[in-house]
Amino acid sequence: MATTSEPGTSARSAGAGSTAPVRRPSWGSLRRARRNRSQLATLLLATDAVCVLAVVLLLGHGAPAVVVFSASALVVHAFAGLYRPRMDLSILDDLPLLAGAGVASVGVASIADGALDIGDVEGSTLLAALAQTVLVLCARAVVYVLRIRYRKAGRIAMRTLVVGCGGLGAQLVEHLGSGEQGLLPVGFIDDDPRLSAGERPLPVLGGIADLERLVTEQSADIVVIAYSNVPEMVVVDVLRSCQGLPVEIFTVPRFWQVTNTHRFVQSVRGVPLVQLRRPAFRAVTWPLKRVMDVVASTLGLVVALPVLVVCAALVRHEVGPGPLFRQERVGLDGRTFPLLKLRTMRPDASSDVRWNAQESVGPVGGWLRRLSLDELPQLWNVLRGEMSLVGPRPERPHFVEQFTLDYDDYLWRHRVPVGVTGWAQVHGLRGDTSISERARFDNHYVENWSLWLDVKILLRTAGQVLSAAGR
């Protein structure tokens, strides 16, 4: 059973068909948040573009290789993380990345020369790489100096809430108060503050259960999680409930004193801050998931139509009329929908509250299940937008309600659309397997979603189906 205190259990006790475990932000709030956080990235991109254009105008006349090199430079800079939001602004931190990006861009020009014979790559692009690196370094140095001055003057200040009113929290507030990072701490959040009222540099605005409300009330842009007395699982639940808000969340890692820092870890006066990944539906590539679903499900239905007809005929012969059946399942944000499947059991053996009815499956049904052919009608669910090709497998409302009460993380798997296949399934968690493990794998998928992860799961699913067919 769930053991967390009220802030955590309130979300889980909602059960099937409840309101969304993650509140979806309005597009307006997301646009404002993205605009605030993308100012530096846009400025750096514009600065680099001007430098690239200057190199092309100065050295690109009659040298196509320079144009190819310069055009690829901005793309390489983006992949190198040179436009990511940062608190620390240091041209020395950028120098190795810019040098490496220059080398990579020269390589792109060399490949283009081999394919298109675009000219003297060695001489022209090496000179362009040197000139462009120097120009970009100088331009960025100016941008950083001006940006830091604006921060210290308070013209750039993102409102920040600090979770944890203890020694570390007070230290962070003191460091952030200098303004160098562009953050403006406005208050603490803690259920049991360690610091007395006289020791607190800022007021305690509320407890951890109030975080979502306070983010909205305080118009917060940033939340920093320092150490507090609140149980870890309660904090995790509250943070997940806030992922739909237009706010960035940073956390001080455990054993931060011996944590290695790198370019993807922010640092505030020696204290590392790890930025929590944005929820999947806020990723730039998230709309492409739906595009992939529509294209693949449409093609799949067309190609699989003859197979479906044959399978439906076999099912009708074994279990009687009605080879296709519908069953209510729980999908995105706890909403229910009718899932389609080929019937693999006799009609009187199917139950919405029976967990394992494998003994009622006939030879044809067993064959369909082994090859996952009974799942083919779900491509129609995918096309309708009720499911995705990849996501946590949908479950019946009765069991969602039961598992939500019994397992801490179960409800949070409904933050993304359910899928025909999923991360848990490709790890062997099918049928009568551990629900706790399934929830862990499903939430890992939600937290780490990417288009490539979807492709990887689909490839592994195809491999497992082919392996089953060969047995």
- What is the reported pLDDT for 63? 66
> Tokens for 339?
């899932």
The per-residue pLDDT for range 214-254, each reduced to its tens digit, is 998 998 999 999 987 788 888 888 888 887 788 889 999 88
The answer to whether residue 263 scores a pLDDT higher than 50 is: yes
The answer to whether residue 110 scores a pLDDT higher than 60 is: yes
Please report the beta strands in 164-312, taking only residues with DSSP state E, as ranges in sequence order.
Answer: 183-189, 204-206, 222-225, 248-251, 266-268, 271-275
- What is the reported pLDDT for 89? 87
Please report the beta strands in 391-446, taking only residues with DSSP state E, as ranges in sequence order.
Answer: 419-421
Beta pairing partners, 342: 324
The per-residue pLDDT for range 23-76, each reduced to its tens digit, is 554 444 444 444 555 688 889 999 999 998 888 888 766 567 777 777 788 888
The per-residue pLDDT for range 119-137, each reduced to its tens digit, is 455 566 778 788 888 999 9
Separation between Cα atoms, residue 30 and residue 36, nearest integer Å: 10
DSSP of 187-213 = EEE-SS-SS-GGG-SS-EEE-GGGHHH
- What is the reported pLDDT for 11? 39
- pTM for the whole structure: 0.77
Q: Residue 14 gets which letter from DSSP?
A: T
Mean pLDDT of 143-169: 90
- What is the reported pLDDT for 33? 46
User: Diameter of the chain by CA atoms?
Assistant: 80
Label residues 342-363 b or e (16+ Cβ within 10 Å = b).
bbbbeeebbeeeeeeeeebbbe
Give the closest residue to 219 by CA, choosing from 191, 186, 244, 243: 186
The per-residue pLDDT for range 297-320, each reduced to its tens digit, is 999 999 999 999 998 888 888 877
Mean pLDDT of 79-108: 84
Mean pLDDT of 81-92: 86
Looking only at the bridges linking them, the beta strands covering 271-275 and 266-268 are: antiparallel
Mean pLDDT of 186-197: 92
Identify the band that residue 13 occupies on the pLDDT scale cut at 50, 70 and 90.
very low
Label residues 419-443 b or e (16+ Cβ within 10 Å = b).
bbbbbbbbeebbeeeebeebbbbbb
- 141/246: higher pLDDT: 141
3-state DSSP assignment of residue 403:
helix
- What is the reported pLDDT for 347? 58
